[in-house]
Amino acid sequence: MHKAFFYQMTHIGLITFLIAVIAGRLLMRLNISAVPMSRSSHQIPTPSAGGLSFMLAFVAGIGLYFFADPDKLYFLAPFLKAFAIAAFLLGSVSFWDDCYPVSYRARLFAHLLAACVLVIAGLNLDFPAFSHLNNTWFAEIITLVTLIGLINGANFLDGLNGLLAGSVVLNLIFMIFIATPMSGVAVLAMILIFALLGFLVFNFPFGKIFMGDVGSTFLGLALGFLALLLQNQDLSPSDTALVNKTFVLSLMPMAFLWFDVGFTLVRRAVLGRRLTEAHRDHLFHLLYDAGHSHGFVSSIYFLTVIFMGCLTLSCHYGFTSFVELVIVYGIVQAGFCWWVFKYTQRVSV
């Protein structure tokens, strides 16, 4: 069974990878370019909307797997339909934004619509310590806010070559270890990994094409979708957790990046700057502006994802408690922030 699953996923994965590579090559020929602006980390117009390559490859991979083993994804079919609708709504507005400027309010409305589709499909956060709140309007609102936060957070993180796509690949690998072996969620994560690797052929480290808003927002939605599916697979939920622990752990590998988003928004709010305005205030921007390459800075964050992923698995399998995980993360995150500010200040002098 394991051997058959391995060969099946290898073949489908390779086809998915090739589809992403071919689609990426074709998209590079289209006249959709990201023109350098104040927030940009590139100096010349570069092909954009490359996220369509891994989106199309992901859809194709799912279709191939349905054909090869329909039973594996059968029970996820209603949720996959909802995700397809949400991704289409979100992707349509985001792709248009990659071609022509779209107001932030219009984009935010699209984010809300996409999140609403998943919530209506029955994907809501669980609150084990307050089980009476599950499947209520409160749970739906918190889920909406969380999904919108992930979509926007992923969009903010798409600032350096390979940073978001590579981090998501690593996060998905740890998701697979959290998921039930050979489950539908694990299959979806594997297919998305192969699709993203096909995109990274052109994006990392030299940035021949960017994923654009259509790709970054899709990845935020996909992470939230998979995390909610994993929550439903939780075989031993904690009765004392405020939020389902499996959901939190599935997103924990990218904790340093999520912190970067939140920390930067707080800093900008304190400094009286507009939160919706394009900027270069993220910690990864500071490291890049200090003279390091895209590949170097992105690789530093890849190491943080691996570090947090290992801590996450340690907590998931019971070797450490969630409190210990948070303490270790907090100490290392504080040290990382201190190092970034001290290092960049010293270099700028």
Digit-coded pLDDT (tens) for 178-221: 998 888 899 999 999 999 999 999 999 888 888 999 999 999 99
Of all residues in the chain, the percent with pLDDT exceeding 70 is: 92
Residue 349 predicted with pLDDT over 70 = no
How remote is the C-alpha of 147 from its chain's centroid?
A: 11
Does 116 or 342 have the greater pLDDT score?
116
**Average pLDDT of span 273-296:** 83
Give me the domain span that covers residue 181.
2-348
pLDDT of residue 234: 62
Question: How many beta carbons lie within 10 A of that of residue 70, not counting itself?
Answer: 10
pLDDT at 346 over 60: yes
pLDDT at 236: 54
Exposed e or buried b per residue across 17-53, where buried means at least 16 C-beta atoms within 10 angstroms of its C-beta = bebbbebbeebbeeebbbeeeeeebeeeebbbbbbbb
107-116: per-residue pLDDT in tens? 999 999 999 9
Residue 16 has pLDDT above 60, yes or no: yes
Per the structure, the count of domains in the chain is 1
Q: What integer pLDDT is reported at residue 260 of this predicted model?
A: 95
Q: How much is the pLDDT for 240?
A: 63
Residue with the bigger pLDDT between 28 and 251: it is 251
**Taking 90 as the threshold, does the pLDDT of residue 348 lie above it?**
no
Residue type, 243: V
Residue ranges of the binding site for Mg(2+): 155, 213
Residue at token pair 């960049």: 344
Other beta carbons within 10 Å of 124: 24
CA dist., res. 100 & res. 95, Å (int): 9
Beta strand 46-47 with 33-34 is: antiparallel
Backbone angles phi, psi at 47, to 5 degrees: -50, 135
At residue 43, the pLDDT reads 55
- Report residue 46: phi and psi, to 5°: -130, 140
Question: What was the pLDDT predicted at 1?
Answer: 54
More confident residue, 34 or 144: 144
Asked if residue 172 has pLDDT above 80, the reply is yes
Contact 26, 199 (CB under 8 A): no
CB atoms within 10 A of CB 267: 14
In terms of pLDDT, which residue wins out, 32 or 104? Answer: 104
Amino acid letter, residue 235:
L
Q: What is the pLDDT of residues 230-247, one digit of tens each?
A: 987 765 556 667 888 899
DSSP state of 11: H
What is the pLDDT of the chain when averaged over all its residues?
89
pLDDT tens, position by position, 119-163: 999 999 988 778 778 888 899 999 999 999 999 999 999 989 999
Query: How many other CB atoms sit within 10 Å of the CB of residue 130?
Result: 14
Contact 262, 282 (CB under 8 A): no
Query: Within 10 Å of residue 7's Cβ, how many Cβ atoms?
Result: 10
**pLDDT at 36 > cutoff 70:** no
Amino acid found at 228: L
Mean of pLDDT values over 8-13: 92
Say if residue 104's pLDDT is above 90. Answer: no
In what helix (H) or strand (E) does residue 46 lie, and over which residues does it extend?
strand 46-47
Between residues 286 and 345, the one the model is more confident about: 286
Residues tagged in the binding site annotation: 155, 213
Q: Identify the band that residue 73 occupies on the pLDDT scale cut at 50, 70 and 90.
A: confident
Among residues 244, 161, 169, 235, the alpha carbon closest in space to that of 205 is found at 161
The pLDDT of residue 47 is above 80:
no
